[in-house]
Structure 1
Amino acid sequence: MTLGVALSATASENQIDTTVDLAREAAAAGLRSAWFGQTFGADSPQLAAIVGREVPGLQVGTSAIPVFGRHPLIVSSQAQTAQAATHGRYHLGLALGTKPLTETGFGIPYERPIARLREFLTALRQLTEEGTADFHGELITASTPLPARVPGAEGGVPLLVAAMGPQALRASGELADGILPYLAGPRALAEHIVPAVTAAAEAAGRPAPRIVALVHGVVTDDPGGARALATEQLAFYEQFPSYARVIELSGARRAGDVAVIGDEKEVAEEVRRYRDAGATEVVFSGTDLAGEPNRRRTWRLLGELAAG
């Protein structure tokens, strides 16, 4: 099972330089992948391309670009460029986004998100695999009067979706290569998420989907203090029905309850639980939750688990 980390350096003097330094440290610790979020700041595919060039061998990915406020033609250009820059080590994650951020940030209505996701994935698949598209849907049109191929990205780009709800999982199983669930504990994965997306992929005649579980966690000798911080930091997600549902399905009451926090033995056991629940990859986020020494301690453990 691949183990990786989500990198964020938004509080640094230069986000790009610091992110590259962190990626080098992650690779030296034995971690296999580095993932980058997408909000209104740094462009995640471009950041992944830079890191992938600077840190050879490290898999890089975006988790995740919302489909609202973007167009498949533009996202395809970004993703193919990152794929060529990294010689095939880039993975593109997409997301539905949220109604408040979509309507406040872009000034567009958050309507029919699943239909938009389906059309986005269909058009994007054509573009990344064939370098051309002639797609005319209800919500999205993607046509290429000029070539859309990026030389060096001929192998295509793995398409993943931050899916957790039944409809999003069905669409992802049918049209994507895998999923990127966040704040979904092993119970939710094993009983709800993995069976749903796997069944959809099988029905569509597609390969078994990748299950890249994003886990908020850290190794520390002060689990109570770290848990309190995680509960405070993650409370933002509890207002959204999709996250509230998956937190409940995980057997938890608060988002912070799903975080993986403890000593090396406890965290290693939780990683194994995710594996047993069907995760093909586990990516830790929030590893700086309890300070730099504990972040390095966490990365050291994850590197050892990846090697073993």
Structure 2
Amino acid sequence: MSLGIALPAGDDHTGNLVTELIDQVQEAAAAGIGTVWFAQRQDVDAMTLAALAGQAVPGIRTGTSVVPIYPRHPITLAAQARTAQAASAGRFQLGLGLSSKTFVEESFGVRFDRPIRHLREYLTVLGDLLREGAADFEGETLRARTVFGPVTVAGAGVPPVLVAAMGPQALRATGELADGTVPFLAAPKALAEYVVPTIGAAARAAGRPAPRVASMVPALVTADPEAVRRRAREQFAFYEGIPSYRDVLDRAGIERAGDLMVIGDEETVAAELRRYTEAGATELIVSQTGMGTGEERRRTWRLLGELSAASS
């Protein structure tokens, strides 16, 4: 069982947020966790954190889960990804996503126009930039030309690209043009019957390797599961109104997104996490944003380290 965690893991920071997050990466590595993914919020920058963590904690793998492609241009994102890859000595992985119409248009003031076409064009250009360092592309939603020279960083290889794809068209585009997907709130039933076969078929048809499925799962070891469940239902209610999330919840017969929060003692949490890998997830990213106490987080990380060691 390949396990990682997502940071930030909560909002209880009292000092320098970046310093505290790097300290948490060191704590996670000491617990036996090998991969840390950084969420892109509107306070801290995920790409910068991944680069810093890769430098500060030898051996740790870092990633973003996920960076919205609106309104970032792929030339800019490729330069950031290559920088993070060099900083982490080749241990960086780029997770990106479309986000949602409401968030993109209200936050950035740009149109969420033809998102699947934009995703396909974006992944096409980004792939050229990461593999070759150059682009000369004129599409329907995107233009990219490296007129000032190649996007190359000495010491940087090609990072894997994963997409937070949920809808069928996004999953097909991801299977054809990227290395895998980062589904969130996709229950084991939805993974086994929908996500894994859809992206797998697209990858096979495109002659690509079997895609990674890095399933993001909210989970917490706790002695008070009822209180955590109430908070999870409140926090995740936002996703229930986003069509792609509503669809993947409905495919598993899940009404409330918060009900997918994996909670309980160590044995209960471990058993529930195994259901995701049995459903076809190639790896898990455990998320705890806004949930639990520091001690509950540490108990969860110790469990994840033990499960990682047992499966290695």
Q: TM-score, normalised by structure 2?
A: 0.96
The 8 Å contact of residues 85 and 91 in structure 2, kept in 1 or not, is answered as yes
Offset at 1:39? 2.7
Shift of residue 14, structure 1, vs aligned partner: 1.4
- Look up the match of 2:285: 283
Q: Which residue of 2 aligns with 1:163?
A: 165
Counterpart-to-counterpart distance in 1, 2:96 and 2:232: 25
- Structure-1 residue corresponding to 2:150: 147
Who is 1:226 aligned against? 228
Partner of 1:62: 64
RMSD, matched Cα: 1.2
Counterparts of 2:150 and 2:141, CA distance in 1: 23
Residue identity opposite 2:231 in structure 1: L
- Whole-angstrom CA distance in 2 between matches of 1:71 and 1:61: 19
Task: Say if 1:287 and 1:295, in contact at 8 Å, map to a contact too.
Answer: no
Correspondence 1:91 to 2:93? yes
**Secondary structure, in 3 states, of the residue corresponding to 1:147?**
coil
Residue identity (%): 53
Q: 1:168-187 alignment to 2 at 5 Å?
A: 168-187=170-189
Q: Report the AA paired with residue 29 of structure 1.
A: A
Shift of 1:223: 1.3
Question: How much has 1:115 moved relative to structure 2?
Answer: 0.5
Paired residues of 2:7 and 2:289 also in contact (CA < 8 A): no
* 2:83 alignment partner in structure 1: 81
Secondary structure, aligned partner of 2:66: strand
1:127-152, CA deviations, whole angstroms, 9 ceiling, x for partnerless residues? 01111111211111111121211111
Greater RCO, CA 8 A, separation 6+ = 2
The answer to whether the 8 Å contact 2:3/2:283 transfers is yes
Is 1:261 aligned with 2:263? Answer: yes
Report if the CA contact (8 A) 2:6-2:287 is conserved. yes
Change in CA separation of 1:225 and 1:11 when aligned onto 2, cut-off 3 Å? closer
Question: CA shift at 1:10, angstroms?
Answer: 5.2
Distance 1:82 1:73 in 2: 14
The residue aligned with 1:130 is 132
Separation in 2, partners of 1:127, 1:41:
28
State whether residues 11 and 290 of structure 2, in contact with CA within 8 Å, keep that contact through their aligned partners in structure 1: no
1:207 is aligned, of 184, 198, 209, to 209
Give every structure 1 segment of 4 or more consecutive aligned residues whose post-TM-superposition deviation is greater than 3 Å.
none
Structure 2 Cα separation of the partners of residues 11 and 128 of structure 1: 37
Looking at structure 2, the residues matched to 11 and 296 of structure 1 have their Cα atoms a distance apart, in angstroms, of 14
Residue of structure 1 in register with 2:3 after alignment: 3
Q: Give, in whole Å, the separation in 1 of the partners of 2:43 and 2:71.
A: 14
Contact 1:132 1:147 (C-alpha < 8 Å) held by counterparts: yes
Structure 2 residues without counterparts, runs of 5 or longer: none
Q: What TM-score does the superposition give when structure 1 sets the normalisation length? A: 0.97
CA distance in structure 1 between the aligned counterparts of 2:12 and 2:264, rounded to whole angstroms:
26
SS of the residue aligned with 1:270? helix
After TM superposition, give the deviation of residue 11 of structure 1 in Å. 4.7
Cα deviation 1:210-262 (Å, max 9, x = unaligned): 00000011011221111111111111111111111112222211011111111
Post-superposition shift, 1:113? 0.5
Contact 2:11–2:289 (Cα < 8 Å) also in 1: no
Count residues in correspondence: 307
Aligned to 1:111: 113
Matched residue type, 2:150: P
Shift of 1:288: 5.9
Counterparts of 1:212 and 1:250 in 2: how far apart (Å)? 18
1:257–1:272 Cα change, 3 Å: same
Contact 1:287 1:294 survives alignment (8 Å): no
Query: Among residues 15, 23, 26, which one is paired with 1:24 in the alignment?
Result: 26
Quick check: 1:250–1:258 contact (8 Å CA) kept in 2? no
Equivalent position amino acid for 1:304 in 2? E
> Which residues in structure 2 correspond to 1:242-261 (within 5 Å)?
242-261=244-263
Equivalent pair of 1:129/1:157 in contact (CA under 8 Å): no
User: Which SS does the other structure have where 1:283 is aligned?
Assistant: strand
Is the 8 Å Cα contact of residues 58 and 89 (structure 1) preserved in structure 2? Answer: yes
Distance 1:111 1:134 in 2: 22
